Structure 1
Amino acid sequence: MQILITGATGFIGKELLKLLASHQLVVLSRDPEAAKNKLAHLDHGHIRYLNQLEELSNLNDFDAVINLAGEPIADKRWRSEQKKRICYSRWVTTEKLVALCGASRQPPSVFISGSAVGYYGDQQQSEFDESLQVTLNTFPHQVCAQWENIALGAQSEQTRVCLLRTGVVLAPQGGALKKMLLPYRLGLGGPIGAGNQYMAWIHMQDMVQAIVYLLENPSAQGAFNLCAPHPVTNREFSQTLAQTLHRPHLLFTPEWVLRLLMGESSMLLFDSACAKPKKLTELGFQFTYSRIQPALKHLLQHNSGK
């Protein structure tokens, strides 16, 4: 396949490229030289770099689009300018890709676009799957809902659209787990608040394999929860992480402290998402890591020397 990818140098994108070495890839990057350096160890002559989408007039030459671009949502406090960056980086890139699909005589057969379980908001202790319909005024929901609506504009008889409602992706080299490792290794880890909020999580290996599965399965379309079949509470995750690292689990972080430090973005830590990947499992995808203990054991032992 010839695949156009955005967000290829990001946390998930770099891992995904490892599975796409048999395909011809076009990577969109604002800084192609920096991207080449970041991806040099993965480039076996099958990657071409694109500075801006305006260099293309259509997507006739592409079999697939994988759209993972977006400013990290949890890295900075949600001040007005940061909210704009978060939205712009997702919405505008997706709008341009959809417009190129519309300008194509032979558009890509599949358009895979990012989203997150933040779409669902705080569902407290309720278990849910992709059939749950919500309308909320929270920032994560509004970001995801508009992102998804834009991406669905690429849908046609020739193009199927898959939306990736992603949970917390676990890998020691980035994301939430990387931020947590130092305090937990120092014996300072513990639950956040009461720790009763559910966390939809997924091992990085399952994350990228699921994307490839959707890419290659012609019957896959619509929204998919990309999270393990067994979500856990924050307390259970915290206890399991401490046990895996052979560290004590005695402390906790008061909710008010994080709300004071993070402001509105603290909802990412306190909203409860007991999300199930119903559509993905019904499609036949098999998770390698469906439970948190073996997932953390693999991630931390496999990378203990790094």
Structure 2
Amino acid sequence: MRIVIVGSSGFLGKHLVTGLVADGHEVVRLVRREPVAADEIRWDPYTSELDPAILAGADAAINLCGAAIAGDRWTPEYKKLLRDSRITTTAVLSEAVARARVPVLLNASAAGYYGDTGDADVDESAPAATDFLGTMCREWEDATAVAAASGARVVLLRTSNVLAADSEIITKLRPIFALGLGGRFGTGRQYMPWISLSDWVAAVRGLLTGSVSGPVNLVAPEAATNAQFAKAYASALRRPSFMVLPGAVLKMIGGEAGAELLHGHKMRSKVLESTGFRFEHPTLREALAWTVAR
């Protein structure tokens, strides 16, 4: 397959490209800087439309663009960046996919779609939350409507916390937990959906060539609360886990973004499991052991 990918320089993008190339696919990467490799083409979704000729002959397009959710405090300016880097980019790519008649679009989305749902099981049929993340994710997904209307099979990748040695969540937590200072956030009762990197990449590769369309929760089958995650990660590192970071401190340090750490959702991978997908790391213990070993 000839696959055009946006967001290839990010954590997930880099690993996915490696997997797609290993599968024998031809990968074309759209970048916003000056191209430095033969498989790169420059584009700027904020200043112009994407030339459909770039997508001519493509069998699929993959969009993983988006500024880091935890990259900064959620000032009005940073919230605008979070939204524009997702919604604007998706709208421009979706229009080009429609005009070039690309048959498949895999578009990033996130677990933040669901908001704080407590102990309730949440599958792909649940509505979007009305908070900032929920609204942003809904509009992000809606921006693919042009591609879907053209006949493209659109898959919305609602990604949970991805566990890997170089993932954002692990690189932020590792130094703290390695010192034996790790622990839960607030009560720790909030659910913390997760998936290992190897399962995320395998799932996306399968969805690329499968028949599923619409939202897909990319999350492991074993649900875990924040407290359970903290205990399991500390155990994998052979460190204690007794600290508590109070909610008030999280809000003081991170503002609205910090408060999100106190929210959770018990996501279920109903659609993915219905395809027969087999997880390499179905339990948190297995995923964290793999992450630490790497």
2:204 maps to 1:208: no
Contact map agreement 2:31 2:40 (CA 8 A) in 1: no
Work out whether residues 74 and 268 of structure 1, in 8 Å CA contact, stay in contact via their aligned partners in 2: no
> How many angstroms does 1:288 deviate by?
0.7
SS at 2:70 equivalent: coil
Q: Identify the match of residue 251 of structure 1 among 243, 260, 278.
A: 243
Q: Which one of the candidate residues 118, 121, 134 is aligned to 1:124? A: 118
1:129 counterpart letter in structure 2 = D
Q: Tell me whether 1:61 sits opposite 2:57 in the alignment.
A: yes
Q: Quote how far apart the aligned CAs of 1:55 are.
A: 5.7
Alignment partners' CA distance in 1, 2:182 and 2:161: 18
Q: Which digits, 9 at most, give the CA deviation of each residue in 1:228-250, with x for residues without a partner?
A: 01120000000001111111112
Cα displacement string for residues 54-83 of structure 1 (whole angstroms, at most 9, x for unaligned residues): 462343321101000111111110001101
TM-score by length of 1: 0.90
> Helix, strand or coil: the match of 2:125?
coil
Structure 2 match to 1:184: 177
The equivalent of 1:41 in structure 2 is none
Equivalents in 2 of 1:30, 1:121: separation in Å? 31
Local SS of the residue matching 2:52: coil
Q: Displaced runs of 4+ in structure 1, greater than 6 A?
A: none
Is 2:98 the partner of 1:102?
Answer: yes
Residue 88 (1) aligns with residue 80 (2): no
Change (3 A) 1:55 1:75: closer
Q: Determine the C-alpha separation between the residues in 1 that align with 2:244 and 2:34.
A: 43
CA distance in 1, matches of 2:140, 2:50: 23
- Residue 115 of structure 1 corresponds to which residue in structure 2? 109
Determine which of 132, 142, 148 is the counterpart of 1:139: 132
- Secondary structure of 2:250's counterpart equals helix
Q: AA paired with 1:190?
A: G
| 3-state SS of paired residue (2:62) | strand
Q: What is the percentage of aligned positions where both structures have the same residue?
A: 36
Q: Which residue of 2 aligns with 1:8?
A: 8
Gaps of 5+ in 1: 37-44
Q: How many residues in Structure 1 have an aligned counterpart in Structure 2?
A: 288
The corresponding residue for 1:277 is 269
* Cα offset, 1:153, TM superposition: 2.3
CA contact (8 A) 1:32 1:51 kept: no
C-alpha distance in structure 2 between counterparts of 1:82 and 1:65, whole Å = 27
- Deviations, residues 244-300 of structure 1 (Å, cap 9, x unaligned): 111111211111000111111124311111000000000111111111001100110
Find out whether 1:72 has 2:68 as its counterpart.
yes
> Alignment partner for residue 170 of structure 1, among 148, 160, 163?
163
* Residue in 1 that maps onto 2:26: 24
8 Å contact 1:195–1:233 — kept in the other structure?
yes
Calculate the aligned-residue CA RMSD, in Å: 1.5
TM-score by length of 2: 0.94
Following superposition of structure 1 onto structure 2, how do residues 218-297 of structure 1 map, counting pairs within 5 Å? Answer: 219-297=211-289
Cα gap change, 1:278 to 1:55, in 2 (>3 Å):
closer
Distance 1:73 1:245, change over 3 A: same
